Structure 1
Amino acid sequence: MMNMNKTIVLTFGIIFIFFGQIQAQEFDSLQGPSYANISSLTSLGNSLYWVSYDSSQIYLHEVRNDSVIKIDSVNYNLYDRKGIQKNRLSRFISNSQKLYIVFRFDIFEWDGSFQRLDTNKLKLKLFSNSSGYDRNQIWDAEIVDDTLVTMTNRNYYDFGTMSTNVNIYTLDKLVADSMVSIELPKSLDTNNIWPFFSVLNDTIVVGLDTGGLVTQDSIFLIHNGSIVSEFKQDNNTSPSVNLPRAFENKLFFVQRDSFTGNRHIHTWNKNQITKSFRLPANDWNTIGSPMLFRSSYWFLLNDNEKITLYFQEGSELFQYNNDDLRGALVFGNELYVISKQPSEYANSYVSKLKSDLSLIKGSVAYDLNLNCKLDSFDQILSTIISINKDGAINSNLNGNYAFWGQKDSSYKLKVVPNDVTKGPLCGTGSFTVAITKVDSVYQNDFYLEIDSLKSDVSVTISSSVPVRGFNQDGNITITNNNLHEYDSIEVQIHFPVGLSSFNSDSSFINMGTHYSTKLYNYQAFEELNIPFALKVDTSYFNVNDTICLIGKIIVSDSIIINNQDTACQLVVASYDPNKKTSFPSGAITQSIDKIDYTIQFQNLGNYKATTVRVVDTLDTQLPVEYIRIKGTSHPESYSLEVRNNVLIWTFSGINLPDSASDPEGSRGYVSYEAKVQSAFLRQGDQIDNKAEIYFDYEIPVVTNYASVYLSDETSPIFGSYKQIENQIMAYPNPFGSHITIKNNGKNIEQLTLYDFCGKIILIGEVRAQGEYSFDTYGLATGLYFIRSSGGHTIKIVKN
């Protein structure tokens, strides 16, 4: 059964999202080397150290006068005979005399030179099993009473035989070349526990996070070698706990509410939560060590896609910038970070936060009682604030925004209006903030007036990709964008012949040409999401036929342009369920002003997915003015975050079933409309978009590219265009400096490479089941075609 979800909307009816980056919020790179693997920072005495490693060596550097200088190294092989990395850095810490570099299976200490500790002598017995999965490894390490203490997993889960063994975790204290162990509870029989610990005053605090699979997450208190209590709350229900870290006599940890999916960073002491910071999205899983800098707490937050820096303002957290980081540490009066270059396998290097910054913050609201201040009568707004010409930030669900500006710089802030906004109040239409001081706060609140003479109700409709013989799931959303209330609103869904078995939890009536229902007593700022489903009849629709759904509302309001919406999709057959599609798709003969995108996902695993995250990177060549969210399969459980040209949908607590147990329920989608401006100017201009889909903690599923390109269909190249990717494949596509052509067929293929105008660039041959690779340095960016001797053509794109 589908649930109809009602909420009070806190955003403008159409979501406008501008792209760009606030240039002030950057880091200053230090002079020095960079490395590809995980690295970390720590301090010893009056010195700051950075450790990193490659496949054969560990490198130790000291940060001196804004330079990074290598001071030592030691040989160390992290890879097995097959070239697979078997070891990772767990912790880089120090006591009063030594540095400790703690890996999963080895420990090094450094007090002027490297020494590798004999873990067999220490009775740790660390090793990897034959099937390639780690077991008996060090998960975390701390310094307790100036002594190294590690947390070790004493057992394993055998992925090869799929047998579950009890995980036994111990705290091992390094004392006189031996380890003194404290064994944690054996009742935790799950294979997916991630253990971390910290030290709060004289008490060791252990957090066991089960990764969301079971509700056994706990905080254990250990004093004088014995477990003294287990922290629980909410009627003795264990919290979902991740990565506890002690700082300034407080314990910081991430907790997830098992009902709402919301995550908070809690501070805790004496068995009580003392303060909470709501995380800006529900997908953040772990925090790095808390830092106190510029009178605020700072955190590194990890969402399984990247690690970014956040700062605390009041009881909320705000993102500093979008850089992908690997570590952070406050040393002296500076905040140092390990930055990562912007590519998947790029190196990391040491940077530091700019020092000449001040905070710019404020709130956005409809000032309903017109008194030029925020009070209980007003309607807070989660919307977009443009910054200068190419930047933007979101005000959050509490209507607040915050970012750091640089001294001697100016920032023009402006709220994006909508059709029912009469205008700003009290001179708050826009602000130009000139930063003249360092470590100051510039408060700028936006108070908007609603045009009470205008009434506006809008409708959007969206759907999943229609698959022959299966249900096409859809969602229609009705939003009241003003203070007006309505006795009734008629909602209509129109669809073509060939779609049947209409189903919805709402009471729709079949009117012959469409289905209709009425909404009664519709309140100010109310939003309603109505899911529905239709079956795609195989006798009516063939592959690549177009199905258009139309959503209408019959209502008396001032703005009628948004009283109807259309969602069109191309029909598919047996297909990859995790896919991105566009409408229009493929070749177009004239320029267009918008593209509709749908990202389809399905849980193909063998267990439900607690959280699904869709990361959609928009084509950097596409100058998008704004996007309009059209709908999603699960409107009650998603949040949307914007990071420059990346859209991130997070479905927390979605509990998406696996496809074997519930084929229909295992599917979902998101849909949006992108405005296009001057993207298709000449033949061959093209927009390519793809997305990544994350199911809980699994590696992402990468979709296909959804491509739209301007073509002259009278060209002989286009006249014979026919995708044959199953027989002839080209990868990578889009390509850069080289491309490989693979022949999956049984015969030799003669291949000819053409540019968009039909000029022959290259002629070659590839044997049956063979490959042919060649350099493409000399090719200009754009659209190309490869024609086989069989008369078929595949399209490739050079970025």
Structure 2
Amino acid sequence: MKKNLLYVLFLLVSGIANAQIVNIPDVNFKSFLIEAIDLFDGHPIDANGDGEIQVSEAEEVNTLIITDIYNHAPITNIQGIEFFTNVEVLNIMISQTPDIDLSALTNLESLSIEDERLVNLNIQGLINLETFNLVKSGIISLDLSLSQNLSHIGIAIAYNDDLTSLIIGNNTQLENISVNSTGLESLDLSGCPNIESFSFNFGGSHDVFLNLKNGNINFSSSFGASAYFDNNQGNKCYICIDEGEEFENVSDNVVFGSYCTFKPGGDYNTITGSINYDQFNNGCASGNLSIPLAVVRINDGTTTGYSYNTDGIYNFFTQAGTFNLTPQFENDWFTVTPATINFADNNNNESIHNFCVTSNGIHHDVEVAIIPVLGARPGFDATYKIVYKNKGNQTLSGDVVFTYNDDVLDYVSASATPATGSLTWSYTDLLPFETREVTVILNVNGPMETPAVNIGDVLTFVAAVTPATGDETTEDNSFNYKQDVVGSFDPNDITCLEGATVNPDKIGEYLHYNINFENTGTAAATFIVVKDIIDAAKFDVNTLQILDASHAMETRVTGNKVEFIFDDINLGAAEKGNVTFKIKTLNTLAVNSEVTQQADIFFDYNWPIQTNEATTTFAILSVGSFKQDSSVKVYPNPANGMVTISPKAEITWVQLYDVQGRLLQSGSGNTIDVSNRQAGIYFVKVMTDKGMKVEKLVRK
């Protein structure tokens, strides 16, 4: 008997629950539902015809359209929709409802909303949602990041500035997206690698940033006519894509680039670490120096790349595979153990490997270069940097001498008191891999001064560095620079510091290039990238060395593409910067071969500025028809007294010139006395019965 009573009680409770009536405050919404049908199978939602919607009836609905557009009274509140928990397809076309909460409809797969008064939309928790369309709403912010099964998104809020934030998040299922909105200023789709088609029409009164850098290198080629971009012609749309992607048939004001981030899109692995010099012979345990702009080479058996960084940190971003890392130096005077890194997958793994570099033998080697920072114009100041670097493995001390023609150039400022026509600085304790520099400002004579300097004239400069002990590479202990005087100049330019013509005996040797850049805009540039595509048919990209950078910088070399990345530079309006590098030409070049460098400079999300072409020809210089007698030796060099000339052949005559090319003395003996000469750079021209030789001489 007790069992029967319990059973009856259970049936009563169940019946009451199933007969529970949904609370629908808006009478127009309730009236609509009572008349509506489930479009999935056509059954009426008010299945029992009692003029109410029971919970059980709401739970039976699969496909529902809610509308007050076609001869229906306006609906202002759709409370009660939360009981339709099994609905999979929902279309809402109403005009008076500011708030819609659909968070309880966790089985919803397709949602379309058209509501001009809609301000607040809650769709959090709709994890099964696959299709979402929103038309004519007043929504300000929309977050779809939790609906990671979305494959289609369509948003059309044209001529309405209300929607200013749209968050998609990481969605590997998204295939199609269409956005038409004048309020958005940015949209990030970097976490959506499987998009197959899209359309974007922003059309607002502001610039727009769109991030499509998603790691899918075939992203653009799969679209064809399915990709559409548009924006107000008075504004710019910057679209960040993966390197190598291309899009066609877009508006002229659409700018493509890959520099929105300096990491790849999608999933990738990271290899990073530092390169340290074992200064104290303690295995780089502590207190040792990181090596700025050290070169680390990576190779996976097929592809080779390089990383340089001003702070001595290297970075590589890879996929799965085996990668061999090797620090590289300009000479073999250092020892370091290579490393091999293995990644089984590309699940954002990180490997940190620090290199410890030790000295191999005892070697002294220092180099110097002159870098033009501000061009020479008649009557204006010109700026130069004298950069010197210890390439050897011993700490060095010595002098740096900068010589110029003081008849046409007046000293303005430098870091030391100069002698006439020559500036000299002593340096001490220059550590291996250390670079120092001196900035010099000189005023150029104007056309009305005597002697006059005019546009087209050439100014000559020489810098020399003198280590206290013998240098093993004397060729780079001095640097000649000839500068054309100009009336105006492009602040974003590239210059070959050896000039437009170089003797063919320099084929296979280093050429030096300086790239200047200036922010000509009105706001600070957050980042700057200088990209140089090296002509691999004429240059050996493996020999590239960075000599100078005005700001903290990372250099990446991929194939023959070199990128100098100044991230977080914040270069203010009218502020300047530069990067200077040297690179060897191939020794297979012939006489009269031309080599050219050109760079693209990217300031934030703007169109790149293309520099001039710096072309250099390997041609015979006009030094007469004499053969060169390479046996001639001039020593000591540097000197402050007697200098000996020692050829294997008989001396015909000897001449001494200053840096301006003026003949100072001549004779036929094998010695020259320079004790009465000022410190600076001179040239000794020696003629023998075998030929001629010109040697640079430094007077200490």
Greater share of helix: 2
Larger RCO (alpha carbons 8 Å, 6+ apart): 1
Q: Smaller-chain TM-score range?
A: 0.3 to 0.5
Structure 2 length normalisation: TM-score? 0.48
Greater share of strand: 1
